[in-house]
Structure 1
Amino acid sequence: MQNSRRLNRNSVKSILVVKQHNQLGDMLCTLPLLASIRKSFPYSNIRLIASQDNYRILNSPSEKYIDELLVYDKSTPLKFSKFLLNLKNRKYDIAIVPSTFSFSRTSHLICYLSGAKFKVGVKSADSKVNKYANYLNVKADFEWESRKLHQVDRFLEIGRIIGCEFSEQDRNSVRLTFSRQEINSAKDFFRMHFGKNGRKIIGIHTGAGKIQNRWSAANFANLMKMLYEKTNCIFFLTDSKTDTDSTIELINNLDSGFVRENIVFDDGMNIRILGAVLSGIDLYITNDTGLMHVAAYSGTKVISLFGPTNGYEWAPIMKHNIFIQSPDRNINSISVDSVFKNALSLIYE
């Protein structure tokens, strides 16, 4: 670790966190880090740089862990120039690049260009040298893989370079904070689509960015039939612009009458309102995808399914969440019966 001893915590007024990548799940896994920074520097302004694809999930004045969002936009020279001007219109005491599985030249350049006195990040991770570490002046070496450390805990360890301590209870209590308007929109959606019939509401997400991370539509369809027969539940089917094919495949595996009577679709709603809706359902069953993290940080019980990716590294960390890891890295080796049994345990716990 280098140069962190010169940091006077009481003099820190402005902190920049650089997270301009597109992955929604990666962004949400940094939420406990942002919370730990807020706890350690309660009177500092915290500014987060996010991408055009993932900034919306935190784009609300109700979010208590950040004060400002700066969207990284390089789509045109003019927009990139405006981004740089907005970046440099502030004097930063600390800039942090929370990198855990890859090192981005862009992130480190943004950190350097911020002009922050303390530029914080990773010197090496699991013996992989960060070749952009020369842009940092407060950095440390980390060993994560041998400890099978969750991504959330990796981010928190980066925060500890500047003294951001966060207990296990702290990290497990971090949640998205929805505005009154977002909560009311969710309530309106519930009244319109779910009524007051007392049926359990189970969310289903069949998609994932990579095909090898998708449990088959046939498996999801069989699971839904079993859950309906056992609980008389109603299903809330979430979708995204990359998941249309898997959603259509699921519908094709179900009787049209079943779909009409027992499935509510999200209709492409705003992601924060979707999070508020998810906070009110009984269970969410999903592949390893960004909405898995949205559901978990909304306070929903989640069953997450993992094939080639590691559940110990990416699954939701909160209580009342279960991840099921394929025994052979093939996600379709996860049996419908095992998901069904775990679903019942969470629904009726």
Structure 2
Amino acid sequence: MTALPASASSSRSSEAAHAHEAVLVCGVNWVGDSIMTMPALQAFRRAHPNAYITLLIKPPLTQLWKLHPVPNEILPLHSGFWGTLKTARLIRQRRYPRAFVLPHSFRSALVPFLSGVRERWGMPGHWRGAMMTRVVNPRPPQPGREHQAWEYMDLLLPGHKEQELERPQLNLPDEAVAAAKARLAALPKPCVGILPGAARGPSKRWPADHFINLGRSLVKEKHCSVVALGISREAALCRKVVEGIGEGALNLAGQTTLAEWIALLKVCDLVIANDSGGMHLAAAVGTPVVAIFGVTDPLRTGPLGRDCRIVQNSSVRNRDVERDSPEAIKSLASITPEQVFEQARELLDRATPS
């Protein structure tokens, strides 16, 4: 992928955008959702190997998408009303013939509409149908096709014949992986990454005390080291968990770049995570994952990996959950450390048979 700063590449980008197969993709806004769009983008690239694909995203996601092989260019979506107009003016100069709008929001459809993109494809929602030239209704979920990732496939490749979702591709630099291995080299093996945080708040966070009891069991019974990982605003939570676990635990939350965080997830022997962006990242780089779900539906938004286990006690399956949903918080609290430990033990034993 060639990631080009808009200010430094306007001539080259404009020429590329005039090409017959130039495509603008308006990306989604969260790490986990971004990962779920990747199988469809990879399938689109296979179907259109010569397309020049520009991905329009919010700036915090730039580092993630630099690791993905599909986009030829990453374009930042400027924030606010004036930022929307500025972005639209830039896109108008490039005269893209087609745009795919992956989010369901009104604003995501507004930018290509104001830009005069000739064909604007998107899914229904938020009173934006008039801004689309084609509204694509995803196929009804069927067994094996329940995951949200299929909606993006139906949008990008209507009438496709894809039978399964390819795992999201993240190409980490070799030096990032080597640095992650060196960072954990002194720790006992196996090394288990834990992700106590979740951007959605308490409705997706397993209680910290449960993570503490789980970590103690992993250290005592499986002789593991436990590494807490997360973003800066999760550092205090991770510190509390690591201090509660005691010897054998290390807190690295807030101490890594995104690429370093993903590399650490990759070199862990197992990751235990809430339903979060970190869960999706760990699965994407091929690490076995135990994912803890409250009332969100793992069939719809579960990790896209080869070796993932779901722990969930609720029979409720909601797509959208409030940040402080009492039902979700209660459901998560009902999941015992013993339940999660059993799934972790099975995955660790499979990786290191006696």
Match of residue 134 from structure 2: 138
AA aligned opposite 1:221: I
User: What is the CA–CA distance in structure 2 between the aligned matches of 1:243 and 1:145, rounded to whole Å?
Assistant: 35
* TM-score relative to the length of structure 2: 0.81
Q: How does 1:101-250 map to 2 (within 5 A)?
A: 103-123=104-124, 131-142=127-138, 144=140, 149-161=146-158, 164-168=160-164, 171-179=165-173, 183-195=174-186, 199-209=189-199, 210-250=201-241
User: What is the CA–CA distance in structure 1 between the aligned matches of 2:88 and 2:111, rounded to whole Å?
Assistant: 9
User: What is the CA–CA distance in structure 1 between the aligned matches of 2:231 and 2:167, rounded to whole Å?
Assistant: 27
Q: What number of residue pairs does the alignment pair up? A: 316
User: What is the CA–CA distance in structure 1 between the aligned matches of 2:183 and 2:123, rounded to whole Å?
Assistant: 49
CA deviation map 1:214-241 (0-9, x unaligned): 1111111111111112221112210213
Deviation at 1:45, TM superposition (A): 0.5
Pick one of 249, 266, 282 that aligns with 1:279.
Answer: 266
Deviation at 1:308, TM superposition (A): 2.2
| 8 Å contact kept, 2:91–2:112 | no
Tell me the secondary structure at the aligned position of residue 253 of structure 1: helix
User: What is the CA–CA distance in structure 1 between the aligned matches of 2:76 and 2:194, rounded to whole Å?
Assistant: 30
Shift >6 Å, 4+ stretches = 145-148
Deviation at 1:115, TM superposition (A): 2.9
Pick one of 67, 74, 77 that aligns with 1:69.
Answer: 74
Please, which runs of 5 or more residues in structure 1 have no aligned partner?
1-10, 124-128
Q: CA RMSD in A?
A: 2.4
Please, which runs of 5 or more residues in structure 2 have no aligned partner?
1-18, 316-327
User: What is the CA–CA distance in structure 2 between the aligned matches of 1:270 and 1:16, rounded to whole Å?
Assistant: 27
| 8 Å contact kept, 2:312–2:335 | yes
* TM-score relative to the length of structure 1: 0.82
| 8 Å contact kept, 2:28–2:102 | no
Cα distance change on mapping 1:83 and 1:26 into 2, 3 Å: same
User: What is the CA–CA distance in structure 2 between the aligned matches of 1:143 and 1:167, rounded to whole Å?
Assistant: 13
Deviation at 1:136, TM superposition (A): 1.3
Deviation at 1:57, TM superposition (A): 0.8
Match of residue 347 from structure 1: 348
Match of residue 295 from structure 1: 282
CA deviation map 1:253-272 (0-9, x unaligned): 333xx1xx432524521112
User: What is the CA–CA distance in structure 1 between the aligned matches of 2:85 and 2:118, rounded to whole Å?
Assistant: 23
| 8 Å contact kept, 1:295–1:302 | yes
| 8 Å contact kept, 2:188–2:225 | no
Pick one of 216, 235, 253 that aligns with 2:244.
Answer: 253
Out of 36-45 and 318-327, give the one that drifted further.
318-327
Cα distance change on mapping 1:153 and 1:343 into 2, 3 Å: same
1:30 counterpart = 2:21: no
AA aligned opposite 2:27: K
User: What is the CA–CA distance in structure 1 between the aligned matches of 2:231 and 2:287, rounded to whole Å?
Assistant: 19
AA aligned opposite 1:237: A
Tell me the secondary structure at the aligned position of residue 348 of structure 1: helix
